[in-house]
Amino acid sequence: MSGGRSPGANAAPMAPAPPVLSCRGLTKRFGGPEGGVLANDGVDLDLFAGRVHALLGENGAGKSTLMSMLSGAFRPDAGALLLRGEPLVLRSPAAAMRAGIGMVHQRFALVEALTGAENLALAAGGAPSPRAAAELAEAFGLLLDPKRRVSELSMGERQRLEILKLLACDARILILDEPTSVLAPAEISGLYGTLRRLADQGRAVVLVTHKLPEIADVADEVSVLRRGRMLARNMPRSQGLPTGWDLAGLSRLMVGRELPGASSGRQRRPGASARETVLRVRGLCGQGQPPAFADVHFEVARGEVLAVVGVAGNGQEALAAVLGGTKRPARGTATVLGREADQALVAYVPEDRHGTATVPGMTLAENLLLSTTGSRGAYLQGGAGSRAARAAIAALGVVASGPQALARDLSGGNLQKFILARELSKSAPLLVVEQPTQGLDVLAVSEVHAAIRRAAEESAVVLVTGDPAEALALAGRVAVLFRGRVAGVVDPGEAGAFARVGRLMAGLSDPAAEGPAGPVGVPGGKPGAGGRP
């Protein structure tokens, strides 16, 4: 894409035009005024007409909060929005749309039972007209049959319909949240072509993403959010670099350098001699086309923590579900102590605390009885359930009113500790934990980490996480998944381990790659991307 434009035509105009939309000191806090989470902390940002702006950040960095404030879904606690220099207060998404700011959410806001033309009319006003819709789609070069129902459309078509909705409302600022997450690789270049065209027509386009290499071609400027703060703002493309971006540097900015408590409790690689192999994974491939993950091999011994890290969407969710026994692999085997894994052999803490891991509307005791033995024949042993729940509450210091508390009334951290305690009480030889600390506060994180370390004394542990710091802090080995394949295995003890994990997660080539880990992907085959120190 960069070859198709004269250099600097959009990125660095001679006399800098004023930004079409600016944020100044945007602050948003969730939860109480004292505690709670500071999702955005004094964020500044400028958006310019004619430019594609990439907003980078990990899950939970505050990207969605910021974009929700720009698109009128949230109102900031402090700070201001300026539209062409004029103060702008947005009370609703509809108000933002009237101001020319439109957003395509990760979960599309389409009425599935209606046709494309009807969805367009719903957003833009007027009676539905398939012909006018087709003309609009053609005018913007977006392939779409507006007579078909949304439920029959592919994800790519739905995304084009969402973009058309914004264009039909004459949006001048288009925000797309993780637009590539629903697309096949072949569709991504089509999307980027569209976005480039829309920007060249004088619109401002914002891409919200954590997939660093994917934006290298399309972005004119980049900003990086981490933990609610804007760490780098409106960085232009640097012409000297092959991709235009210092991808390694950006990925360091995204994930952060510091390793909280890295050396304190990290697990040593166990002595290879005495330890018994618990989990043996051979040629495991996930379901789907293309498979969510493929050709995964590894072994985990009793007393060992293996971390599987990757940026969301690179296959680790599916891998965790297969190891945890909630999904079947397409090919390959995962055996526990030589046997096929089952409920008695695997304790699984899924990512989704409310729903997969617990039934929110049932009590803690009932949730325990659901997944563990505690019933004799058809009769529930309520007493046993309560006792076990009380034990679980005591074991990890869960703050709850008692065994009769409803699961949905517990805070995220407390529910996570309860689930962990429940799974640990099974004393299964393998523990699979997925994203155990997502959304937890610092104290809860350290308690959950301590519990996982204790579990690793007796069992083999597979920790699936998107947080490299967590992986390096807990695990004896860190396997990095990129696009469904093990891109490399890192020893947390080696020098520069954190940087290496970050590079592998971003899909950058790995000069230190050691043989059997599997193919190391270079996204898009860009030679020289790994030439940076």
Distance (Å, whole) CA 191 – CA 40: 29
Q: Does 272 bind another protein (CB under 8 A)?
A: no
- In this structure, the chain runs to a length of 533
| 75/268 with CB nearer another protein | 75
| 123/206 with CB nearer another protein | 123
| 15/127 with CB nearer another protein | 127
What residues form DSSP beta bridges with 83?
21, 86
Q: Does 495 bind another protein (CB under 8 A)?
A: no
Cβ within 8 Å of residue 297, ≥6 positions away: 281, 282, 283, 284, 486, 516, 518
Give the count of residues interacting with another protein (CB under 8 A). Answer: 22
Residue ranges in 134-173 that form contacts with another protein under rule CB under 8 A: 151, 165
Please answer whether residues 334 and 327 qualify as being in contact, where contact means their C-beta atoms are separated by less than 8 angstroms.
Answer: no
Q: Does 132 bind another protein (CB under 8 A)?
A: no
Distance (Å, whole) CA 410 – CA 455: 23
Residue ranges in 97-116 that form contacts with another protein under rule CB under 8 A: 97, 108-114
| 233/354 with CB nearer another protein | 354
End-to-end CA distance of the chain, in Å? Answer: 25
| 117/364 with CB nearer another protein | 117
Minimum CB separation of residue 47 from another protein in Å reads 21
Q: Taking the alpha carbons of 506, 512, 517, 522 in that order, is the dihedral positive or negative?
A: positive
C-alpha distances in angstroms, 164 versus 86, 127, 152, 394? 27, 16, 17, 54
- Beta-sheet strands, E only, within 398-503: 430-434, 460-465, 477-482, 485-490
Q: Which stretch binds another protein (CB under 8 A): 90-98, 301-309, 500-508, 525-533?
A: 90-98
Minimum CB separation of residue 99 from another protein in Å reads 13
Number of Cα atoms under 13 Å in the Cβ half of residue 490? 32
C-alpha distances in angstroms, 427 versus 182, 343, 457? 38, 11, 11
Distance (Å, whole) CA 530 – CA 401: 53
Q: Does 182 bind another protein (CB under 8 A)?
A: no
Q: Does 80 bind another protein (CB under 8 A)?
A: no
Minimum CB separation of residue 194 from another protein in Å reads 21
Out of 17, 80, 89, 94, the residue judged to bind another protein by CB under 8 A: 94
Q: Taking the alpha carbons of 397, 403, 404, 409 in that order, is the dihedral positive or negative?
A: positive
| 85/126 with CB nearer another protein | 126
| 73/384 with CB nearer another protein | 73
Out of 39, 56, 69, 123, the residue judged to bind another protein by CB under 8 A: 123
Out of 15, 127, 186, 443, the residue judged to bind another protein by CB under 8 A: 127
Q: Residue written as tokens 């012409």?
A: 239
Whether the bond into 185 is cis, omega within 30 of 0: no
Q: Does 530 bind another protein (CB under 8 A)?
A: no
| 103/250 with CB nearer another protein | 103
Q: Does 66 bind another protein (CB under 8 A)?
A: no
Q: Does 89 bind another protein (CB under 8 A)?
A: no
Q: Does 126 bind another protein (CB under 8 A)?
A: yes
Q: Does 352 bind another protein (CB under 8 A)?
A: no
- How wide is the angle at C-alpha 501 spanned by C-alphas 498 and 265, nearest 5°? 50
| 109/512 with CB nearer another protein | 109
| 73/359 with CB nearer another protein | 73
Q: By C-alpha distance, which of 73, 332, 50 is closest to 202?
A: 50
* Helix (H) / strand (E) containing 276: none
Out of 42, 93, 249, 325, the residue judged to bind another protein by CB under 8 A: 93
Point out which residues bind another protein (CB under 8 A).
73, 92-94, 97, 108-114, 118, 121-123, 125-128, 151, 165
